[in-house]
Structures are given as C-alpha cells and as structure tokens.
Structure 1
Amino acid sequence: MKWEKLFKPIQLRRLTLPNRVMMGSMHLGMEGNKDQEDALISFYTERSGENGPGLIVTGGISVSPEGDGGHHFLGFYRDDDLRVMKRLTSSVHTANGRIAAQLFHAGRYAYSEMNGIPSVAPSPIKSPIHRETPKELNELDILNLLESYAEAGRKAKEVGFDAVEIMGSEGYLINQFLSPRTNKRADKWGGNFENRTRFAIEVLKAVRKAVGEDYPVIFRMSGLDLVPNSSTPEETVQLATKLEAHGADILNIGIGWHESTVPTISMMVPRAGFIEPALQVKEAVTIPVIGSNRINDPVLAEELLQKLDMVSMARPFLADPHLLVKAKEQSLDQINTCIACNQACLDHAFEGKAVSCLVNPRAGREHKWTIKKAAKIKTVVVLGGGVAGMEAARAHAELGHNVTLYEASSAIGGQFNLARKIPIKKEFDETIRYYTTELNRLGVEIYLNHKPTEQELLNHSPDLIVVATGVTPRQPVIPGIEHAIAYPDVLSGNVAVGKNVIIIGAGGIGCDVSHFLIEKGINNILLLRRNGKMGEGLGKTTKWAMLQDLKQNGVKFRTNLSYKEMTKDGLTIINTETDEKEFLKADTIILAAGQESNIPREYELLSQIGVEIAIIGGARLAGELDAKRAIYEGAKIAFEPETISIN
C-alpha cells in the first residue's frame, strides 16, 4: 500500500504533526482516580511516539465543577488534577508524542448526584436520558463560564499540553447553546442563529486570548446532531465559517448526541458511514477539517484523506496502540482491528468502569501487563481454538513461551466463525484474520481437526495446559425437542429454514439469529423467552439499536411462558400469568437457549497427576456467550501467571 497522505506532516500554528491521524477523545474511566493514575499515564504513553497518532486528545477535562460528565473526571479547577496532567504531558513528550487537552462541560448531561452540584444548561430542559432538570444559566453564570474556559486553556498550556480542543459537539453544553432544541432563551444568548452561536464564538475567543496566537486551538463541532428540531445542515456550515473567522485552527466534526436514537459508532454502522458532514464543512472553509466515526482501517483513512485534512481514529487505538507503526511497515495483517462492539469501551464508560477493549484486554492495563520475555520459558498446550484459546496462545507466545494449540474442528475461531455470518458482525472477520496472522508470526504450532489424547498431551511435557474447549448449545427439556434445530446448524447453512420461524431464546444469540434470517428474506420471526426481557445480556450502548432494528423488521417477542410440547407443525406454550394454553404454528423452530460448558472429562483427570491446568472462557463458565471475558482470561493467565488457578 502506498501512503500518499497518511504520513504527510501538517502544521497547526507552532505545532507540527508527523501524520494525519488524530487519536480522538475517549473518556477512559481512569481519570480523577488515584488508584488509576499510573494506568492512565501508561495508556497514553504507549500510544505516543513518532509513529503513533499525530495528535492524541484526552478525554474531556472539566472547565468547572458542575461540568463533570459523570464518574471519574479530571478538572482544571483541582490542583491535584493539574499535577496528574503535568505527569501525563511529561511522559507523552518523553515518548516523543503530542497531546491536546479537551476543554469540556457536560451541561445538562452532567450528573448532579455524582458532582454534588446542580447541572446547568442554556434552558431548563431535561435530557431524555437523565432524571434531573438543569438550572438555567443567567447572564453572570455565562460570563463566569467564559472565564472558566479561558482559565482552563491557560492551565492546559502551563501543564504542557501541545494544544486544546474545545468540546462543542455530542450534545454537551456548547452544543446545547447552538441547538434550538435545547436553547429557548429570549436574550442575546438564544433565539435566532446569530444569538445561539454567540456562546460558542465567545468561548473560542476567550480561549484564543488566553493561550496566545502561537498555540493550536481545535474546535470539535457537531456535523449532524441526529435529534429532532435541532441545528440544520445550513446552520452547521455557517457555524464552521464563523469558527474559522474567530481563530479556530482546525475543525473536528462530531456526529450525534448521546440521546439520539440513530446508532453512530456501533458495528451496525458502515465504516465512515457519517463522513458526509465533514466533507460539506470542508467545502465551506479553508482551515483543515477532521473526519470521524467508524474509521478503523489505515487504508480507508488514506482514501478519506484525499478529500479531508485529518481523520480521527479513537477506539482503533484501544484495539491496537501500534496501528500506525504496522501501517508504516506495511504489516496490515498484523493490525488488531477495532470491531466496534462497544462492550469493553463505551459500555464500561457508561457503567463507571475503567475502559478496556474486547479484542485487546491489555488496553488500560499497560502499566502492569508489560510485554517482555518471560524469565522462565514454559511449554504451554492450549486446547481449543476459539477466542479464549487463541488469545491464551498468542499472549503466551508473545512473552516467549513455547505454545502448541489443538483445535477439534477444521479452523480456528470458535463461535466467532458463527458470529461473523451475522450481517452486522462482519467485523469479526478482522479478529480471526489478526489471530491467524499473529499465531503464525509468533510460531505457535497449530493442529486442526485433532482432539489430542491424554498421552499426546503428556508427550509435550507441558508446564501448563489451557483448557479453552468452549461451549455446546444447551438443549432444553421439552417433549418433541427432536423437531427443533440448533442455532449453529442455521448459521452454518446446514439446514433449510421455513418462512415462519420460532426462536427459543431471546438473548444475544436469538437476536443474532434473527438478524441472520432477516438478511435471508425471512421476516416472520417470533422470539420466545420463559421470563425476562428481549436482548438481555447485550451491551448497554448497542442493545437498543439492535432491538430497534429487529422491531422495525417485524420481529415479535413473547415472554412469561413455559414450553408444553413441540410438533412438526409448531409449539404449544402455556402463559404463566393466565395459565392458558396456546399453539404457535411454525415451519421451523430454532434453539438458542443458552450454552453448556464443554470440558472433555479426560482432560480434567490431568490435574490429578500434577499437570497445571487453567480452564478459561466458555469452558470455565458458559452462560450467554461472552467474548470479552474469554479473551481477557486468555490474556490474564499469560500476563498474571500467579493467578493461573482461574478455574
């Protein structure tokens, strides 16, 4: 691949960036937590350097106390946080990196029960995703906030940040002033477009005056709000020209508000699916413009850079901190690609947990999971080539151990080989490609279509045997169960499916199977669950979008029932609330009712003869399929051998 734009430097006032990739702002859930200080600094430092992103932008750092967005925020108004920021910038600069501070205020998205201070906004309008109504800012409040932004800019420069980014997107305070949906004021700070833009422009002017003419100021503006009755595309372009006129050096185009009912960064969204607003802004201004959202591939980035000046790739650096190093070395197959699952990043952030990554559990643990050759080289045998086994093999081999992997089927990948058949989960192909490349590169010996005997395992003289043999579908006890088919047979294309389908099980697997069938043109689907909610177990930030898509495609859901009997024509259920019996006609009944651990009994016996064994992933704990836990456990037994008794 020839890189014409990706590694071309760009100048922002006094700051030279060596490439055209920004690592966009991410709240890591480590900020403001003394126990996570080293983790925070190690996270950013590892992603720094000449072949790291041209510029890293921190998670939002609050300009005033009521502006915190929730759990664990840094604030420019706290002296101890300034000490942490100074440590951070020094460490990044030692690694030859560049880092900008995001000047942040949550507005009505703040949590007063966490901050201990009432939230504020241009108008007292409650967000649909918050319980509290914000206090309306008066004139003095607004003027004080302008000074808070200016002071934050001054302090950012003092503690060593290379630039600042003003957060004016994603429905936060500045965006709330800009939108007629949230700004109902009748004074000079609201009403017509000129007045609604006043706060954003005054913030920019205040920050510019505070940091000086030689210091880069980025403005993150909303290119598309994706909420009703908000800013128009014409207003967005006009705002961009005003920001240029008042000293913004580069515009970073954000997409969507947190309350939007349109998915913007999940794997359901096509790569670069929202790039058009950035292109429209680019046509209207002469300063550089940054495109964002679902850009996870350097080849795609190079393509977009033919029309834009920079691209923002945030979560892809969670998945692979050395993404650009590998791109520059033309080692694209070695990139651990972000699959936009949201499970360990956004879901963690909204739950108040430290952020990590499903495909790279070392993210956020760099300070303790260091990559160095082990003092004692072990012989490790891994049983099972699903994600738990692949990561266990990869991580041990990366630390210098001798690793052999056995897989009973014809290919590594396990349940991911089924998941990637779901139309919205094609990104899983990337994970299997990555592991295939890495296991070969690291010299892992792989045996496919083979289930080794006890003696074969002992012939390796193993120091450790990792049992990652996964799960088997659970078969519920229902009379006539032989008339049903298991979900793996459906996803593998081994069986024909009729037009009227009942799926027993409405968790993540049942929902995935529904998406698979919809793509095949089957839209008469009924999901059943004994009790509980549809999609239970799916991640918080993706569940709503997946269920919304299913409902829009006519998928129906029933619960509070028991299963009486299956026949070739359908299923008899009993309503557990009314005790009424009902026959549901179906051409095909599919079982997606959970998993059972698959641990061959003969391997359990090995522990009795002194062989150290670790049982991980679905083999250790079945339940709903959990790739995040499986990959984490595979890495943990390599990086934390003292906790090897994970079983």
Structure 2
Amino acid sequence: MDARSAAQANTAANDSHIPTHNSDYPHLFTPLDLGFTTLKNRVVMGSMHTGLEDRFYNYGKLAAYFAERAKGGVGMMITGGISPNREGWLLPAGGTMNTKMDVIHHQRLTRAVHKHDSKILMQILHSGRYGYHPFVVAPSPIKSPISPFKPRKMSAKNIQQTISDYARAATLAKQAGYDGVEVMGSEGYLINQFLSRHVNKRKDEYGGDIDGRMRFAVEIVQAIRAAVGEDFIIVFRLSMLDLVKDGNTMAEVIAVAQALEAAGVTIINTGIGWHEARVPTIVTSVPRAAFADFAAEVRRHVSIPVMAANRINMPHTAEHIVQSGQADLIQMARPLLADPNWANKAKAGQSARINTCIACNQACLDHTFEHKRSTCLVNPQACYETELVYKKAKRPKKVAVVGGGVAGMSAACVAAQRGHEVTLYEAKSRLGGQFNYAKVIPGKEEFFETIRYYRNELEHLGVHVKLNTAVDSDMLEASNYHHVIIATGVVPRSLEGKLEGAELPHVLSYAELLSGEHEIGATVAVIGAGGIGFDVSEYLTAQHTQVLTDAMLADPSYRPKAQSVAEWREEWGVTQDADYDSAGGLHKPEGITPKRQVYLMQRSKGRLGKGLNKTTGWVHRAHIKSHGVIEISGVQYEKITNEGIWITNAEGHSQLLRVDNVIVCAGQESVVDLMPKVGDAPKAQYHVIGGAKLAAELDAKRAIRDGAEVAAGI
C-alpha cells in the first residue's frame, strides 16, 4: 500500500473516533501514515530562515524556538535553510551541515523537539546565484537581480561534488537526530535554477528539455535516499508555479514530480514563485489559499502525499484544503511564528484565540533581507523565547493601561498573563486604535484578525476593559494604581495654520477619510507619500474598496469581502488554469479601471515609496502604478482653494491640480497629555509606549513589542 492509500485508509478508520472538541477540523488532525513512521496531524511548520541558524552559539535560542512550536502541537517542522557546502551559503559563513561538530549543534534542536512528540526535518538549501557572497555558482553564468555577484557556471565535476555534498548533509542530519530532510527545489534557488529555462541554458546532459533539466534534482534525491536508507523522510519542495519568464509549464512540473517520486521522495511540498518574480505570493493582499489548486493538480498525478502552502493561516482554510482532497498536508511558516500554539488551539476548538499571521512581512522576511534576526509583528516573543519571557509576577500589582490600540492591548494582555490586575481604558467605542484605519485598506483585511485576537485574549485573561472612557490624571491617581501604561497613540498631523486653505471642508486627514464618514469626489490629491499615503491611494482607487459603516465595524464577526483569487490573478497576470501551459504560469495582467484619479505627492525628490519595506514596498508601488495614480515628487505646497491645490513642481513652475478633495498624510503627533510633568510626584510608576512614545511613521511592530516588553518588566 502506498503512503497516500495508507493515509486515506487511516482517515476512514479514525473519523468515527475523533474527539468531540476536534469536530471542526477532523481531517486536519487525522494522523498521516508514511509507512515507516506516522505524523500525528497534517500541520507542518514550513522552513523559514530566522537568522539564528547561521551561528552555532545561537542554537540554544533556536532550540527554544522549535521546542515552543513542538509544545504547541505541530506535527512536523522544517528548519531554515542549511547549506550542503560553502558555495551554497546564503550569506558568508552561513549555516551548514558538513562536519561532526555541526551534528553536535543540531542535536540540540532535535532533542528539544522530540521531547514534545513532534518531528523535525532539516532543510538543505543551496542558494545558487541567490547567494550573497563571491563563491556563487549556477547552471549558467547568469547574474541574479537580487545578488551583486555574477555566478560561475558549474562544471560536470562541480555538479557531481554538489550531489555528494547533499547526500553527506542528509547523512549527518540523520546522525543529528533529524527525522528527515527537505530538499529546497523552489523559490529560485540552485535546484530550481537547474529545473527552469529561465536560468538553465546548458547544452549538456543537465540542460535542454525537462528530462535534462530535472536530472540534477533527481540525482540529488537518489543520492540522499541511497545514503540514508528507506526509514527517513525526504521532502522535496517543488516549484509548482515559477512566475518568471521562461518558467516551467504544469506538464513539466508534473514530469518532475513523478520523477522525484520514483527517485525516493516521501512528500512533495509546494513552492510558489521565485524571489525575483514580479508577482506577490505571500504578502497580505494575496487571497488566502490562492495557490492550493496547483498543489491539487500535482497531487492528481502522484501517489505520495502532497503539501499545500502559501497564505494559509487559519484552521478552516487548512481543513477545507485537506478535506476537499487538494492536499494531504498543510505547510505554514509565518502563522506558527505568530502563534506557536496554533495547532493546540485549533484542536481544542479555540480558533478565535489564535494570534493570526497577517502576512505583513515586517518583522520576519524584512528582517531576513536586512540580515537581522527574524521575529513577528504580532508576536514579539518569536525567536526571542529565551529573552522576552513572561514570568508569573511574584507580587501581583494593580495596572492601568490607557489606550486600546495594539500597543495598549499588547501591554494589557502580557501584564494580565503574568498575574497582574489590569484595567484597560479606551476613549472610543472600539478597540484597535490606528489598526481600525489600516484594516479597511483593500488587501489588509487580515488586520481585522489581530483586533479579534486581542479582544478575545483580553476577555480570556480577565482584563477589565472600559470603552468610551476618557481618563484624566486625577482619576488615575485616585485609583491607586501601582503602574500606569500610557498607550494613547497618535493623531494625524494637521496642516491648519501651516498651509493656506487646509481648514476647507474638502480637506481631510487620512483618519477622516478611512472612517468612511465623508463623501469623496472623483479626483483626489494626497499629500505625503509614506506608507499611509500609499495605503490611502490604494483605498481611493481599488475596485473592491468597501465603505464600512459603524454597524459593520461594531460586529466582532464582520469581515469585509476580500479580493477573490480569480480577480487577484487577473490583476497580477497569473494563470487561472491549474493545468497551465504558459511559461511560468504567467499571462498578461488585466489592468483595472480605478475608481478615482489620484495624485500622490511628496516634497522630497526622487522615487516615491523609497522608505517602504523591502518585501512589500515593490507590491505597493506596482499597485498604485497599475491603478493609474499620478506620482509627483519634489513639490512645494502653495495653498488649497475651492478649485484644488496649488503646487510648485520640481521644475519650479506653479500649477493648479483641480481636485475634489485633498487628503493629508503628513505624519502623526504623539498624544501624551497624561504623562506626569516635571516636578510631579505621582503615586504610580508611569510608562509610555507605542505611538505615544514615538510618533514616527506608524509602526505596529514597535508598538506591540513596546507593550510586551514594558508589561514583562513590571
């Protein structure tokens, strides 16, 4: 019986015995029999480079990171990429598995995970031309757009040595106690470079048609299987949609999958897109499960288990994919960064308490590309498990948190988790602060989930939440709090008194616009091209923008309708057909008709959006370009009139932009009225966090971490 047949038989045998509390996700928590071993459920934490892998002295921290997710109930985990040799480094002196000393370091990880009844695989990743060092190699000497180094073409001898290096790395991984390895064959790394005509221009037996281009991958798997034996998991992460010029067709992908199965692969994992692709694959604007049908198409043609991946972040989505037969397993990386207890919460029927990954990339992938340690915007403990510790308080204290934005909610939850008596005051009728503006931006619907998570945690932890409650210093002092945490956030910076006409009724702050309380005309000027200016421009032009009423926003279960997968693919030029025959699955994008004409302006010269985050900024710039936004840099704002806004352009010429509205996105100002003044002697100890502490460009990552760190220390 093959692995899939065994798994299906196991599912049928066990469905009637699934515990009642797991009735929502019976397929997700059914074991998967691989023949020689069994996965306890279908939840897999996928590979994600944290920055801890590259230095042996960080392996204690890395072990704690994996142990936390093993305790959280995940069935299997895959490490960040470990190189089989020096040429394969991502960065100089990157993480490797080459020696017995490497084995000793990696044993810390495997022992930590196995204590909690989970399995762990080591990913073997050769960066190829994506490496950021002078030793880079590739099938052909074609420079990557994301590395400054031109690769050397691999000789036949070099190829054979690299295949041997993969087998040696897998053998050492087995000695280190790993349950298997994942061979990274997607995202544009070395093996993917061999598989695709995009980079492989070779004329020898490792190039040409798909049979030649797959030879390197197949021989690697064969060598690994021969070295490690049959009772060892080999996962191959296969690029199912290249999204680059001269990428593979689905017929070629299937041919590779079938050859890999024959070579000894246990599970095929899904990879989508190359890092250099100009189609987003994991940012928050990508619809959930946008690529599951490609995994399903491959699954139809092989008999080994197939794993779905990319933008799967909640149990009901994962359950549907497994239940419908699109895949046998679900890979999630960032969702388990966001909540290490994701699996246990889902299994216990507590999905509403999952700290959902919002796919912002701000603290994970952006950190990776900046060569920093990864963490998570919504979970600052991620990768800091041994440093940011929420110990039970020896002496519970009375704590007030003033402000119900993400900084205040973070502080309140951590303080309550530690055993303090916490009261949270919010002057408005809803929790969420600035997130209430962000969540209405098209493509940022996931931000609703963060507010849902905090609202439910506050209730679960017994925090006293007082909405519609403005506080003053006298009230705080009279209440005898031991600690007062000021999380009053920011207000939009006004241009009244600074720019003539800024007080006119058609001039709105971004907060007034996003509140949905005002009618907006057909032509709009946006002052300020930071992150908020880009968000506002997308809000004003996107076809699927929804104006949300107070009644909608007051309903905790309400979620605006996100862009559909079909609409998203049409806009970005991705095939609608899972059995695609276009190279790389690309089609000509279908531009949208924007709702409005928008002018996005900034004072500084040069390209707009230079300060946006690395992994998402290019998506925002592409969006506003496709939405017809007119970008103007190097301007001086003269005055606003009933006709529009007068500016002096970069050439020094004065001109009138005839617009119906002017939206001001010119930064924010901290609200710190409640902080004690010099000379005061308050009874409580005061702390200031988030936007109230620093009103720079809105930074939820900093705000949530501020709240957690302050609450962890009181």
* Structure 1 residue 592 corresponds to structure 2 residue 665: yes
CA shift in 2, pair 1:292/1:607, >3 Å:
farther
CA shift in 2, pair 1:376/1:40, >3 Å:
same
Shift of 1:513: 1.0
Question: 1:457: which partner in 2?
Answer: 476
Question: 1:538: which partner in 2?
Answer: 612
Question: 2:233: which partner in 1?
Answer: 216
Contact 2:403/2:489, CA 8 A, preserved across alignment: yes
Alignment partners' CA distance in 1, 2:187 and 2:53: 20
Query: 1:382-439: per-residue Cα shift (whole Å, max 9, x none)?
Result: 1100010010101100111110111111111001111111111100110010000000
Question: 2:655: which partner in 1?
Answer: 582
* Structure 1 residue 638 corresponds to structure 2 residue 711: yes
CA shift in 2, pair 1:34/1:421, >3 Å:
same
Question: 2:581: which partner in 1?
Answer: none
- Matched AA of 2:671: N
Alignment partners' CA distance in 2, 1:567 and 1:167: 58
Contact 1:32/1:81, CA 8 A, preserved across alignment: no
| RMSD of aligned alpha carbons | 1.5
For residue 291 of structure 2, give the secondary structure of its aligned residue in structure 1: coil
Question: 1:373: which partner in 2?
Answer: 392
Question: 1:158: which partner in 2?
Answer: 175
Question: 2:52: which partner in 1?
Answer: 30
Contact 2:525/2:659, CA 8 A, preserved across alignment: yes
Contact 2:82/2:97, CA 8 A, preserved across alignment: yes
Shift of 1:601: 5.0
Contact 2:285/2:443, CA 8 A, preserved across alignment: yes
**Between the two proteins, what is the percent identity of the paired residues?**
46
Question: 2:561: which partner in 1?
Answer: none
Aligned residues between the structures: 635
CA shift in 2, pair 1:606/1:364, >3 Å:
farther
Contact 2:477/2:682, CA 8 A, preserved across alignment: no
Contact 2:528/2:666, CA 8 A, preserved across alignment: yes
* Structure 1 residue 529 corresponds to structure 2 residue 602: yes
Q: Which moved more, 1:528-537 or 1:580-589?
A: 528-537
Query: 1:197-246: per-residue Cα shift (whole Å, max 9, x none)?
Result: 11000000000001001211111111001001111111001111111111
Question: 2:634: which partner in 1?
Answer: 560
For residue 278 of structure 1, give the secondary structure of its aligned residue in structure 2: helix
- Corresponding residue to 1:105 among 110, 126, 134: 126
Query: 1:578-634: per-residue Cα shift (whole Å, max 9, x none)?
Result: 322121111111111110111115654795335311111000100111000000000
Alignment partners' CA distance in 2, 1:46 and 1:622: 34
* Structure 1 residue 251 corresponds to structure 2 residue 325: no
Alignment partners' CA distance in 2, 1:606 and 1:398: 34
CA shift in 2, pair 1:278/1:15, >3 Å:
same
Query: 1:81-116: per-residue Cα shift (whole Å, max 9, x none)?
Result: 33220111111112222100111100000111xxxx
* Structure 1 residue 516 corresponds to structure 2 residue 516: no
Contact 1:252/1:291, CA 8 A, preserved across alignment: yes
- Corresponding residue to 1:482 among 495, 503, 520: 503
For residue 243 of structure 1, give the secondary structure of its aligned residue in structure 2: helix
Alignment partners' CA distance in 1, 2:49 and 2:475: 48
Alignment partners' CA distance in 1, 2:32 and 2:629: 50
Contact 1:29/1:71, CA 8 A, preserved across alignment: no
Alignment partners' CA distance in 1, 2:352 and 2:403: 23
Alignment partners' CA distance in 2, 1:572 and 1:157: 69
* Structure 1 residue 322 corresponds to structure 2 residue 345: no
For residue 48 of structure 1, give the secondary structure of its aligned residue in structure 2: helix
Question: 1:495: which partner in 2?
Answer: 518
Alignment partners' CA distance in 2, 1:217 and 1:407: 52
Query: 1:317-340: per-residue Cα shift (whole Å, max 9, x none)?
Result: 011000111111101111000000
For residue 340 of structure 1, give the secondary structure of its aligned residue in structure 2: coil
Alignment partners' CA distance in 2, 1:33 and 1:630: 29
Shift of 1:132: 1.7
Question: 1:168: which partner in 2?
Answer: 185
* Structure 1 residue 124 corresponds to structure 2 residue 141: yes
TM-score with structure 2 setting the length: 0.87
- Matched AA of 1:564: E
Shift of 1:368: 2.3
Question: 1:403: which partner in 2?
Answer: 422
* Structure 1 residue 294 corresponds to structure 2 residue 368: no
Contact 2:601/2:632, CA 8 A, preserved across alignment: yes
Contact 2:59/2:109, CA 8 A, preserved across alignment: no
* Structure 1 residue 356 corresponds to structure 2 residue 356: no
Structure 2: unaligned runs, 5 residues or longer:
1-22, 546-593
Contact 1:29/1:355, CA 8 A, preserved across alignment: yes
Alignment partners' CA distance in 1, 2:115 and 2:660: 65
- Matched AA of 1:131: P
Shift of 1:2: 2.5
Question: 2:113: which partner in 1?
Answer: 92
Contact 1:30/1:72, CA 8 A, preserved across alignment: no
Question: 2:11: which partner in 1?
Answer: none
Q: Which moved more, 1:28-37 or 1:14-23?
A: 28-37
Contact 1:607/1:613, CA 8 A, preserved across alignment: no
Query: 1:250-296: per-residue Cα shift (whole Å, max 9, x none)?
Result: 10011010000000000110000011210110000111100000000
Contact 2:480/2:683, CA 8 A, preserved across alignment: no
Contact 1:3/1:302, CA 8 A, preserved across alignment: yes
Contact 2:432/2:451, CA 8 A, preserved across alignment: yes
TM-score with structure 1 setting the length: 0.96
* Structure 1 residue 416 corresponds to structure 2 residue 435: yes
Question: 2:588: which partner in 1?
Answer: none
For residue 101 of structure 1, give the secondary structure of its aligned residue in structure 2: strand
Query: 1:513-544: per-residue Cα shift (whole Å, max 9, x none)?
Result: 11111135533000011115422442210010
Contact 1:29/1:72, CA 8 A, preserved across alignment: no
Shift of 1:78: 4.6
- Matched AA of 1:333: A
For residue 424 of structure 1, give the secondary structure of its aligned residue in structure 2: coil
For residue 373 of structure 1, give the secondary structure of its aligned residue in structure 2: coil
Query: 1:353-402: per-residue Cα shift (whole Å, max 9, x none)?
Result: 11100011111111123343111211110110001001010110011111
For residue 152 of structure 1, give the secondary structure of its aligned residue in structure 2: helix
- Matched AA of 1:194: D
Question: 1:547: which partner in 2?
Answer: 621
Contact 1:537/1:624, CA 8 A, preserved across alignment: no
Shift of 1:34: 4.5
- Matched AA of 1:30: L
What is the 5 A alignment of 1:32-71? Answer: 32-49=54-71, 52-70=73-91
Higher relative contact order (CA 8 A, sep 6+): 2
Alignment partners' CA distance in 2, 1:140 and 1:640: 57
Shift of 1:71: 6.6
Alignment partners' CA distance in 2, 1:71 and 1:413: 42
Contact 2:59/2:106, CA 8 A, preserved across alignment: no
- Corresponding residue to 1:202 among 219, 222, 230: 219
Shift of 1:12: 2.5
Q: Which moved more, 1:73-82 or 1:51-60?
A: 73-82
Alignment partners' CA distance in 2, 1:72 and 1:563: 50
For residue 503 of structure 2, give the secondary structure of its aligned residue in structure 1: helix
CA shift in 2, pair 1:604/1:3, >3 Å:
same
Question: 1:645: which partner in 2?
Answer: none
Alignment partners' CA distance in 1, 2:49 and 2:675: 46
Query: 1:416-464: per-residue Cα shift (whole Å, max 9, x none)?
Result: 1111111111001100100000001111111111111222212321111
CA shift in 2, pair 1:68/1:609, >3 Å:
same
Query: 1:18-39: per-residue Cα shift (whole Å, max 9, x none)?
Result: 0011100000011122553322
What is the 5 A alignment of 1:280-291? Answer: 280-291=297-308
- Corresponding residue to 1:7 among 29, 41, 44: 29
Question: 1:644: which partner in 2?
Answer: none
Question: 2:691: which partner in 1?
Answer: 618
